[in-house]
Amino acid sequence: MSVDIGAALQGIHAALPAAKVAMRTNPGPSNQHSLLVGNESLVDVLRFLRDHLDFDLLSNVSGVDWPDPAKADAVAVFGEGEETAREHGFLEVVYHLYSTSRRVGPLVLRARSADRGENACVPSVVSVFRSAEFQEREIFDLYGVIFTGHPDLRRILMWDEFVDHPMRKDYVAPDDYEYEPTPHDDVLVKAKRHYPAES
């Protein structure tokens, strides 16, 4: 059953008047609209949703990279009052919540970092939902979102010595080129760059 996102928003506003929560409309046919939650109230909102609206299962946590503000505009995920983010690009974390008792969902929440550099921080929700533990580590590993308050934030899929975050849109793969006997097209260009003497 799909979720009544308006009721959830009203409930949050009534219980947590200080929380910055705004609705984001999904332009696609999936009818899954989302709530954009301010970082300072993210943990409180999730705790309220868990304890009072029975959203007890945090099913999925996704990272999304928006390096190009124009792109984010085109996909219509922007809101008002986010001029800094609009200028710099940002990293986004998307949460999908379900209720096992009421059998509704997904309730989609999103949180955004201030930028993609020093301040790429989003509060960790592990204190409310344990299921976020490995998923947040994965997003830290692949996107570089720093989850403040995470009990054990270290790389999970890449090895510990790895530098950089491979899921970012501007990630450049290292030129650790493997020899190919019959290079062609852009592989040939890369091969020439890598083995100048041979070709």
Interacting residue ranges for other proteins, rule: CB under 8 A: 1, 26-30, 32, 56-60, 62-64, 71, 74-76, 94, 96, 100, 103, 105-106, 108, 117-118, 120, 129-135, 142, 144, 146, 152-160, 162-167, 171
Q: Which is nearer to other proteins, 42 or 116 (CB)?
A: 116
Q: Which is nearer to other proteins, 26 or 39 (CB)?
A: 26
Q: Which is nearer to other proteins, 13 or 74 (CB)?
A: 74
Strand partners, 97: 58, 107
Q: Report the C-alpha gap between 198 and 161 in whole angstroms.
A: 32
Q: Which is nearer to other proteins, 13 or 164 (CB)?
A: 164
Question: 132, 58 in Cβ contact below 8 A?
Answer: yes
> At what angle are helices 5-15 and 42-52 packed, to 10 degrees?
110
- To other proteins, the closest distance from the beta carbon of 156 in angstroms equals 5
- To other proteins, the closest distance from the beta carbon of 195 in angstroms equals 25
Name the residue among 148, 151, 149, 32 with its Cα closest to residue 96: 32
**Most distant CA pair in the chain, distance:** 71
